[in-house]
Amino acid sequence: MKTKRIVITGGPATGKTSLIDGLKEMGYECYPEIIREFTKEEVENKQEEELQSNPIVFADDSLQFNINLLHGRQNQFKSSLDSTGDLIFFDRGVADVLAYMDLFDQEYDSYFTDICHNIPYDAVFILPPWEDIFSLDEGRFEDFDEALKIYDHLRERYIFFGHKPIIVPKDTIENRIGFILSQLEE
């Protein structure tokens, strides 16, 4: 079986990390969300009132923040090329960076889109906004209305780059994992 590289994406507080953790527990190779480590650096020297919406907005250099994030996700993909596992999962992919930049009306050039065009994920699963499980934490700045908009931008970006995002139903972690694995068997 050819190795499949799969993105799990969606807006904030949709259960992505719980899914990735569940897949990891089952023995699958998984790459974690990396934005929190970048966010931590940006938050350290900011006052509470400066922490608005998303780190790509309040970063000292938001373009560089996004370049670093894009490279981080690109490097995760490159690292996965050495793997021999059947299924490899990523908590977000490169197109997520552009979706968030679109949401916050940030400009980007072909450097960003070229990287996204050159990362051949085999499948993209998107988790829809789910108000019942939505919550804020110290690393999450978007409210639920923004989460709805982010979802739309994520779908649009992945479609733009030739993917057909598969919507993961709102359900238990186990059932969501079962859904994803069954889709990958087809």
Spatial distance between the Cα atoms of 48 and 71, rounded to a whole number of angstroms = 28
| Cα 143 to Cα 13, 20, 161, distances in angstroms | 10, 23, 27
* pLDDT score for 184: 95
More confident: 18 or 35: 18
pLDDT tier at 5, thresholds 50, 70, 90: very high
> In a 10 Å sphere around its CB, with 0-12 CB exposed, 13-18 middle and 19+ buried, how is residue 64 labelled?
exposed
Mean pLDDT (the chain) is 85
Taking residues 111-128, report their average pLDDT: 96
Q: Please name the residue that has the structure tokens 């793997």.
A: 83
Which residue, 70, 62, 164, 61, is CA-closest to 114?
70
Domain boundaries, the chain: 4-185
Does pLDDT of 174 surpass 90? Answer: yes
**Percent of the chain predicted with pLDDT > 90:** 61
CATH topology of domain 4-185: Rossmann fold (3.40.50)
